[in-house]
Chains A and B, each alone.
Chain A
Amino acid sequence: MLFYISGEINCSCIYISLKKRKATGLFNYKLSIAVVQFSEEKLNKVKEIIARYPEGKQKSALIPVLHLAQEAFGGWLSAETMDYVASLLQIKPIEVYEVATFYSMFNLTPVGKYLFEVCQTGPCMVSGSDNIIDYIKSKLGIGVGETTADGMFTLKLVECLGACGYAPMMQLGKHYREHLTPAKVDDIIAECRAKAN
């Protein structure tokens, strides 16, 4: 399968690329092979996590290691990344897939550099999250689940994040952005652009 692929982007897209190849023709996508491999530091972290559990229970490390992998490999989990995690924990790849597809924080397709995860559940809704979502859509010119053409922003709607008293809100990376207003959204977008430059 790998022989079909050559080019530029991160390799972890092999799984996607094969799907797309069927739909759009073989050579429309240029992809490169980069090896999915944790840094020494991350590998030590993995060891430290595994040591938290009794011997032979290293599968318990799966979710924490998938978090590490998602951080390390572009904010999403490709099939290759998942296979790599399976090999690290000495479990079957299917055991990783079934977990990665269950939990909503794991992205199974590429996302923009900044992922806006906006809460839409009841308490945020009664505090005006619909307006915030509409504002982000029009400001960035994207729909839900889409990424801006420059690959900077992805908009994702999520269910309750436990910030109901500080609504409307969204998650951006590790932190929450709360009490959102259109002006605050503008500031956040500007802040992200500034950081990226």
Chain B
Amino acid sequence: MGRKLLLENAHIEGIRYYDTYRKNGGYAAAEKALKSMGPEAVLEEVKKSGLRGRGGAGFPTGMKWSFIAKPEGVPRYLVCNADESEPGTFKDRYLMEFLPHLLIEGLLISSFTLGANACYIYIRGEYAWIPDILEQAIAEAKNNGWLGKNIQGTGFDLEIYVQRGAGAYICGEETALIESLEGKRGNPRIKPPFPAVKGLWQCPTVVNNVETLAAVVPIVKYGGDEYIKLGTGKSTGTKLISACGNINKPGVYEIEMNISVEEFIFSDEYCGGIRNGKRLKACIPGGSSVPVLPANLLLKTAKGDTRMMTYESLADGGFATGSMLGSGGFIVMDEDQCIVKNTLTFARFYHHESCGQCSPCREGTGWMEKVLKNIDTGKGKMSDIDLLWDIQRKIEGNTICPLGDAAAWPVAAAIRHFRDEFEWHVKNPEEAQRRNFGLAHYADPLPVAATV
């Protein structure tokens, strides 16, 4: 069983509340950081730990923090990105619902390190019940001297506020999030300037994902050297994976980044195999934006190595034969699923969520949805498949923010790996309305485990 750092106390009853959290070692890391380490030493540990942004991009957190500008007399802000909206991803929700104090402790240590006296948690609007949980935890922390003025007598002040969004995937992009926090439409900004220089209200700002900020707590607690011992290579520490789709045990799992994809899907400790004894067809390993992989490329890389649950191994082979760990939204599809229909739902999603600033994304996402809908409903032409390929290529890399890329990649990967299924839809429009294409050559290369 892998070691747990974030969820190690998640099973304890009442861990949501301050007293229980504190009794089980909570706020010890904050105490250590504030009283005996100081900001530079914490930053050093975070850098040493190799922690990478858990929101999807995987950018080294220590490096991001070291970019923050420190002009005299200008406030700095820490913004916690809790706008978890990537289809397949629901890990931050779990952390906030069950371990709110872990996040608050992480925010305290991180704000202290960055020299920020105000921190905003920007949470997606639909998680409407979670702000209550967070605000209660904030009040408890404040009553116990962990927030407010002169925290634990160190002279450091910090206020944490919770702000709800109102339904916009794009606000997960850090500059769109900042715009939204300023009370505007979530239109991403042109970079540079980066938020570290000009962010919230034009002040230096760091935006980090919930899981990233929570991971700062075990890093301070055990030290960067200990953290780096977990995981593999540049994928250090543990990662939360939210597993969903046609598996026996959907849910949030904390994995040490040293297990194989096969183990993750088929072992009883994690997903517990494919539901109803079906076979694995395909999987999107890191949230809807990353390329979908057929079973044969998911479990083994093109070189024939075992595919591991790490940033590097999942990306092995580039987009030709690999994918990405992304946000850890692990979507598994069984033999009964239709790739065309599934790709259509994602194309519709990106069309719905495009902010409309850049024409390639605004027009292209709608166009892709329309063409996919035609193919799905039996009105497609063979040339539509090439047309889709052409549109996605013209979106990718031609937009201000990565939403354009995120919209293009799933379509590109679906055509790259499942072209025969698209062609079958076009050639057999009536049959395709009655049944799905099935497994074909990319079938699960493993013997089918007897899952009940």
Contact B167 A104 (CB under 8 A): yes
Q: Is B183 positioned at the interface, with any CB of A under 8 Å from its CB?
A: yes
Question: What are the residues of chain A within 8 A of B245 when measuring CB–CB?
Answer: 123, 126-127, 164
Contact B185 A164 (CB under 8 A): no
Contact B349 A63 (CB under 8 A): no
CB distance from A119 to the nearest CB of B (A): 9
Contact B124 A64 (CB under 8 A): no
Q: How far apart sit A120 and B168, CA to CA, in the bound complex (Å)?
A: 16
Contact A125 B90 (CB under 8 A): no
Instruction: Kindly report which residue of chain A lies nearest to residue B160, judged by CB atoms.
Output: A52
Contact B84 A162 (CB under 8 A): yes
Q: Choose from A63, A98, A122, A162 the contact partner of B93 (Cβ within 8 Å).
A: A162
Question: What are the residues of chain A within 8 A of B186 when measuring CB–CB?
Answer: 102-103
Total chain B interface residues with beta-carbon distance under 8 A: 56
Question: What are the residues of chain B within 8 A of A105 when measuring CB–CB?
Answer: 125-126, 166-167
Q: Choose from B127, B161, B183, B244 the contact partner of A123 (Cβ within 8 Å).
A: B244
Q: Is B142 positioned at the interface, with any CB of A under 8 Å from its CB?
A: no
CB distance from A107 to the nearest CB of B (A): 11
Question: What are the residues of chain B within 8 A of A122 when measuring CB–CB?
Answer: 87-88, 284, 288, 331, 342, 345-346, 349
Q: How far apart sit A106 and B161, CA to CA, in the bound complex (Å)?
A: 22
Binds B, one of A11-19, A24-32, A165-173, A189-197: A165-173
Total chain A interface residues with beta-carbon distance under 8 A: 42
Instruction: Kindly report which residue of chain B lies nearest to residue A161, judged by CB atoms.
Output: B126
Q: How far apart sit A144 and B163, CA to CA, in the bound complex (Å)?
A: 30
CB distance from B186 to the nearest CB of A (A): 7
Q: Is A136 positioned at the interface, with any CB of B under 8 Å from its CB?
A: no
Q: Is A175 positioned at the interface, with any CB of B under 8 Å from its CB?
A: yes
Within 8 A of A (CB), among B243-285: 243-246, 250-252, 284
Instruction: Kindly report which residue of chain B lies nearest to residue A70, judged by CB atoms.
Output: B166
Q: How far apart sit A63 and B184, CA to CA, in the bound complex (Å)?
A: 8
Contact B331 A57 (CB under 8 A): no
Q: How far apart sit A183 and B292, CA to CA, in the bound complex (Å)?
A: 33
CB distance from B248 to the nearest CB of A (A): 12
Question: What are the residues of chain B within 8 A of A126 when measuring CB–CB?
Answer: 245-246, 331, 333, 337, 342
Q: Is A47 positioned at the interface, with any CB of B under 8 Å from its CB?
A: no
CB distance from A65 to the nearest CB of B (A): 9
Question: What are the residues of chain A within 8 A of B346 when measuring CB–CB?
Answer: 121-122
Instruction: Kindly report which residue of chain A lies nearest to residue B180, judged by CB atoms.
Output: A63
Q: How far apart sit A182 and B272, CA to CA, in the bound complex (Å)?
A: 26
In the complex, besides A102-B355, A159-B348, 14 extra interface pairs with C-beta distance below 8 angstroms are A54-B75, A54-B201, A67-B166, A103-B166, A104-B167, A106-B166, A121-B346, A121-B349, A159-B353, A162-B85, A164-B90, A165-B252, A167-B250, A175-B128
- Cross-chain pairs A/B with CB under 8 angstroms, 11 sampled: A52-B161, A57-B182, A104-B166, A104-B167, A121-B288, A122-B331, A123-B331, A126-B246, A160-B85, A164-B88, A164-B90
Which residues of B are in contact with A by a Cβ distance under 8 Å? 75, 84-90, 93, 120, 124-129, 159, 161, 163-169, 180-186, 201, 242-246, 250-252, 284, 288, 329, 331, 333, 337, 341-342, 345-346, 348-349, 352-353, 355
Can you list the 7 inter-chain pairs with the closest CB atoms, starting with the nearest? A103-B166, A165-B250, A62-B183, A104-B167, A105-B167, A164-B244, A59-B183
